[in-house]
Amino acid sequence: FIMAQKLVGNLGEKNKQKLVSKPLTLFQIILVIVGALSSIVCFTCVLISILKYALPSLFISLPIFSAVEAASSSSNTPTDIISSNIKILSFLYSAFTTSSIGSSNSKVNSLSQRIKESNSMKLDSKDNARNPTDIAMPIWGSFRPGIYFGMKSRTWAREADQAKNSHKKAWSNIATGIMWTTVTTTPFSRSAPFRHDTSQDEIRFDWIRHDGKRFGIEHLQDPSYGININASFIVPEPTVLSCSLSTSPSCPSSDPNPSNPIWIQHITALVGTPPTDNTANTRRSLVFYLGNADSSLPVQSDGGYLHIDSLSSTAHSAESTVVNISGHSRASGAFRLLLHLKHDLLSTPAVTYWGLSQQDVTRGVERVRGVTTLPNSLEEDSNFAAVQVQFADHLIMRALFFEHLETLTSPNTVSNTIVSLDVSTVPEEEAETAWLHNERDPADWVRRFDLLLHSLLHYYQQQFEIRFHRLFPSTSTHLSPQHLEIARRAVSGTNGGLGYFTGRPRVAGWVDDVAVLHPVKGLMLQTHPTTATASEEGPLLTLLTATPSRTSFPRGFLWDEGFHQLLISEWDWTISLQVLRDWLQCMHFPACPEGAVVSSQCSSDDVSGWIPREMILGEEATRRVPDEFVTQRGNVANPPTLLLVVQALQRRFFGTQESVQDSVKDSVDSVGEKQEVLRFLQEVFPRLHVWLQWFLTSQKSDFNATSTGAFRWKGRSVRDGKVVPNTLSSGLDDYPRATVPTADEHHVDLHAWMARSARIMADLQELLAGQSPVHSPVLPSYRQLASSLTSSLQQLHWSDRHRGFFDVGMHNDSSFFLLEVFFRCAADEGKAPGGPAVVDVAVPLELVQSGRGFCPPSHPTVLFPHGDGHGNYKQRERFVHPGNLSLEHIPRVGYVSLFPFLLQLLDPLESPQQLEHVLDMLESPDLLWSEHGLRSLARTDKFYRKMNAPGDEPYWRGPIWVNVNYLALSALHHYKALLLVTCCQHGSEEKGNKVARKKLQQRVEALYGRLRGNVLRTVLGEFVRTGQFWEHYDDVSGLGMRGHPFTGWTALVVNILADKY
């Protein structure tokens, strides 16, 4: 009787009223049926409980079985049993409502039921952290990090290659976006510039929630324009959306239904009153657009890869307008975009549109910027569509996108939906499907859309929380709600920074512009032989990548990406698999045909295996990069941080011999997931091998004192105009190396990267050899290589004199900075025939202050000192080398000297003194220790906080960087675990050694806790103060510096909070 009551109660108030209004006999009949079903349910549950052990194969495939299994588990709590019973009732109710006996107004598997089930599950449930059908990245996403809000597809078509009479991949990505401005009606006044591209400090914008795949919620606050925008998108899984809209009893099904939307967007804009706003004469203008994202592809007369077939606007009331954009593309087939706009009436028309021909989104946006009001026209062969809404107080925009409509039996299903949206009342039970029916009107359609949006957002927010609590289990009670919310923002910001780029990179040959040490003449400032070539377009590439900063660096960076994925792989490893695949597919193989599989026949070229350090693909990315950084050189590397992610995945799913924590780590991953990761590792191993071999050969130093050789970062130039030539390839751009780069210098951080990479490859090689022996016979032993590289690292870079690991290069301990002032000097009249009458000279400040003459004899007259434009003398600092330079250790304490420690290459059992010396560096306030984290360069160094050129603020010369502090914490975490095991094990070892190791372990553990606290206090404190994550932090004040928002590697604060290393 109670179950019957529940079933009737679940029908809703409206249905109960309908049932009461029917003849009594019908109501009684239904009650009898419900009662009978209740009895059958009870009997069935008992029967299943008895027989499931005897004949489990008969029941294991039933959807109800898992719920009954959970309910009957003896380990479940009362809450779990209630939750499981709710699931059973939900299943039975779904079966009841889909049968011929059930109410005709009821639909199967409504999303609200799914969400109720989701709510009843524990948030730390491991089984619900990821939908097994959602392994692949969706085609659509917020893959445009360089604009404030937009979406892009990852689709492709094929174009004919006329020269080769063949076909090759050409990428046809559809993109959407929004832009807004203020429009004034005051005579002779101009409208403000449109907001579109992200810009630092222009507005405040944050992804509040973003799962990296299916949904995101972003808040945009623009106080100077007096507008706040809340924007959200959903790319629902076919199983979730189809089951919420479909009447098919076969639901769930993973097959997409073209009558269901591919994505949904919801945008609200609310107007405030900025200080300079003249409300009577000012209104806001928001433009939504859709077009082809790829300016690098040829635009054809038929619209190329995207064609707008129709564009119309229908006003259903003074404040309600429906816009219908239909078209077709080579990748998405026939598509339709439906916009419902609710706005306050300002003028006629308040909604306008414009279809443009021969325009991709970049050029289309530029044309829209040039007009105040769109002209309500559709040009012939349009491939860009824009819709403008002008409003005074508020705007609500609802958008649905459908594709592959040519597969519908009735093409009018969606077409009629678009133009007939607002009329009658529909029973609540049909709210999730009736918006697809062509007899409804806008008011009711909007109500239904909002219900669907609310349900989907609620569902995906619940999934976000489930995944988040997997990162931060219930044992993390020491974390405050504020810290957890900041962690959510960091994860969301990193996910929201994912971008998808297509295009051809600009590449050029080798450049190695270093000095040469002549055996007789000494150091000669001339270039080393090069194979430099003019830049040219590389192959057509596509790349899914996280980006460091949506304002400063909205593009892919190779060494940043490894740090990004250390967080993302903890959040959703399936995203990392796709990102790693894309980066490795960008590997350069000039001897291979485009698209060929990597093999020994086409990977023997000198630059085979090179991956550009910056991936600047497509016009949207290229136009934001200075020309000097666009061209990528074929010998310039970047640290192979992607291998750290590969190792993290291997340790998580399979463990390694090196990992101390594997023996106590609980596995939460299914067999299917392990097989997926194993297939991935088998797939990428050949490319990882070629990549590391490229490093070992292309980055070799001319110094050959060991069997494995020494290594140097190629690309330093004596002509780059810096005090010390930058080393962009290392990732630590202005970190001071040898002041004069030479071909035989060698860099400790690069050598450490090679040793750590070889260890990772050894683990991977041994894993794959055990799974599939085909991988092992043709390759060298990476375990032996790792051992050799570690030995040569000790031999080449450890200095007993200075008690540390250091670069080796041209150096002189007596070198110093010389401050110079610029003066203009003139020649005596008639004494400079054919030469310049005046010259500019840089004069040491001490010489100027002495009062002695300092102009050259050819131009002895001082005219004036140069100014810097700020009321001061124009000055420069020059680094002077008295005496001769020699190839020796450069005892500079900073991040570079820590890399053997950071990459966990030290052996505290064999050489505990080395670890202790490193700890001395870390803990010394005069060197690297600060109350805000480890500074990048010792306070005592000559280059500490020094500019490397006029206007170049110190970058890696003192500030605190979260990525390196994360590596330091990871190393301390590793060594404290290793020492804890070895100091307490039983054996014949002398007691004194165990005591020493215990003492060292306690020191490491204490240092870990102090450093972790400092880093968290700095990053979290600055977020509380400013609402931003920053590129790096001041080592004295702890204030955030340079790029922001910076949810690249600064978001590793989440890993640090969760102790995930």
Mean pLDDT across 120-134:
33
Is residue 451 classed exposed, middle or buried when 0-12, 13-18 and 19+ CB atoms within 10 A define those classes?
A: middle
Residue showing tokens 């706005």 = 343
- pLDDT of 768 above 70: yes
Given a cut of 80, whether residue 253 has pLDDT beyond it is no
∠ CA 222-223-229, nearest 5°, is 35
CA distances from 158 to 143, 163, 173, 297, 329 (A): 22, 15, 12, 11, 12
* Averaged pLDDT score across all residues of the chain: 79
Q: Cα(352)–Cα(360) distance, rounded to whole angstroms?
A: 20
Band of residue 228 on the pLDDT scale cut at 50, 70, 90: very high
Report the percentage of the chain scoring pLDDT > 70. 72
Nearest to 511 by CA among 638, 604, 631: 631
Determine the number of helices (DSSP H) and then strands (DSSP E) in the chain.
26, 38
Pairwise pLDDT comparison (967 vs 989), residue with the higher score: 967
Cα–Cα distance measured from residue 383 to residue 302, given in angstroms and rounded to the nearest whole number:
9
Distances (CA, A) of 477 to 180, 472, 483, 512, 1057: 43, 9, 11, 54, 12
Query: Above 90 in pLDDT, residue 963?
Result: yes
Q: Supply 333's token pair.
A: 């087939």
Mean pLDDT of 523-533: 53
Alpha helices in 497-637 (DSSP H): 558-571, 573-585, 619-622, 627-630
Report the distance separating Cα 558 and Cα 549, nearest Å.
Answer: 14
In DSSP terms, 231 is beta-bridged to: 218, 267
Return the higher-pLDDT residue of 140 and 82: 140
Q: How confident is the model at residue 893 (pLDDT cuts 50, 70, 90)?
A: very high
- pLDDT of the residue at 24: 55
pLDDT of residue 424: 30
Q: Where are the alpha helices (DSSP H) in 811-870?
A: 845-850
Q: Confidence band (pLDDT; 50, 70, 90) for 655?
A: confident
> Which pairs count as long-range contacts for 771-779, CB under 8 Å and 24+ apart, including other chains?
771/678, 771/682, 772/682, 775/682, 775/685, 779/689
pLDDT above 60 for 625: yes
Residue-level pLDDT at 798: 97
Residue 917 has a pLDDT of 97
pLDDT over 60 at 595, yes or no: no
Q: State which amino acid sits at residue 431.
A: A
Give tens-digit pLDDT for 1006-1059.
Answer: 999 999 999 999 999 999 999 999 999 999 999 999 999 999 999 999 999 999
pLDDT recorded at residue 416 = 34
Radius of gyration of the chain (CA): 33
Contacts of 720 (CB under 8 A, 6+ apart): 726
Q: Which residue is it, tokens 């670069």?
A: 807
Q: Phi and psi of 464, rounded to 5°? A: -60, -45
Which range has highest mean pLDDT (416-430, 629-643, 761-775)?
Answer: 629-643
Bridge partners of residue 889, in order along the sequence: 808
End-to-end CA distance of the chain: 55
**What type of residue is 621?**
A
Name the residue with higher pLDDT: 606 or 125: 606
| C-alpha pair distances (Å), 489 with each of 210, 967, 1013, 1024, 1042 | 9, 22, 20, 12, 20
Can you tell me the distance from the alpha carbon of 374 to that of 351, in angstroms, rounded to the nearest whole number? 9
Q: How distant is the alpha carbon of residue 911 from its chain centre?
A: 39
Instruction: Output the pLDDT for position 1048.
Output: 94
Q: Is 242 exposed, middle or buried (0-12, 13-18, 19+ CB in 10 A)?
A: buried
Gap between the Cα atoms of 152 and 141, Å rounded: 6
Q: Residue 661: helix, strand or coil by DSSP?
A: coil
| Contacts of residue 594, Cβ cutoff 8 Å, sequence gap at least 6 | 168, 539, 540
pLDDT band at 160 (very low <50, low <70, confident <90, very high): very low
Distance CA 898, CA 964 (A): 9
The pLDDT of residue 166 is above 60: no
Measured distance CA(352)–CA(183) in Å, rounded: 14
The angle formed by the CA atoms of residues 841, 842 and 845, to the nearest 5 degrees, is: 135
603 has pLDDT over 70:
no
Tokens of 318: 């003074």
- CB count in 10 Å sphere of residue 637: 26
Tokens 């009737």 locate to: 8
27 confidence band (pLDDT: 50, 70, 90): low
**Contact present, 294 and 172 (Cβ < 8 Å):** yes
Orientation angle between helical segments 558-571 and 642-653, nearest 10 degrees = 20
The encoded tokens of residue 966 equal 């994360």
Q: Which of 385-389, 504-508, 600-604 has the lowest mean pLDDT?
A: 600-604
What is the mean predicted confidence (pLDDT) over 9-25? 49
Q: Which pLDDT tens digit goes with each residue over 337-375?
A: 999 998 876 665 689 999 998 788 999 999 999 998 899
pLDDT of 417? 34
- pLDDT (average), residues 909-938: 96
**Residues paired with 499 in a beta bridge:** 545
Mean pLDDT of 993-1012: 93
Least confidently predicted of 11-25, 105-119, 554-568, 743-757? 105-119
Checking if the pLDDT of 174 tops 80, the result is: yes
Largest Cα–Cα separation, the chain = 124
- State the pLDDT at residue 282: 81
Among residues 792, 649, 811, 790, which one has the least CA distance to residue 724?
811
- Give the span between the Cα atoms of 771 and 778, in whole angstroms: 16
Instruction: Residue 444: name the closest of 428, 429, 422 by CA.
Output: 422
- Which residues have a Cβ under 8 Å from the Cβ of 413 and sit 6 or more positions away? 259, 436, 438
Distance CA 325, CA 354 (A): 11
pLDDT band at 315 (very low <50, low <70, confident <90, very high): confident
Sign of CA dihedral 305, 311, 316, 317: positive
Determine the residue type at 1000: L
Asked whether the predicted pLDDT for residue 71 surpasses 90, the reply is no
Tokens of 964: 């390196």
State the pLDDT at residue 86. 33
pLDDT, one tens digit per residue, over 441-488 is: 666 667 777 888 888 999 999 999 999 998 887 556 678 899 999 999
Judge whether residue 900 has pLDDT over 50: yes
How many other CB atoms are found less than 10 A from the CB of residue 14? 12
Q: Calculate mean pLDDT across residues 417-431.
A: 32
Contact 818, 942 (CB under 8 A): no
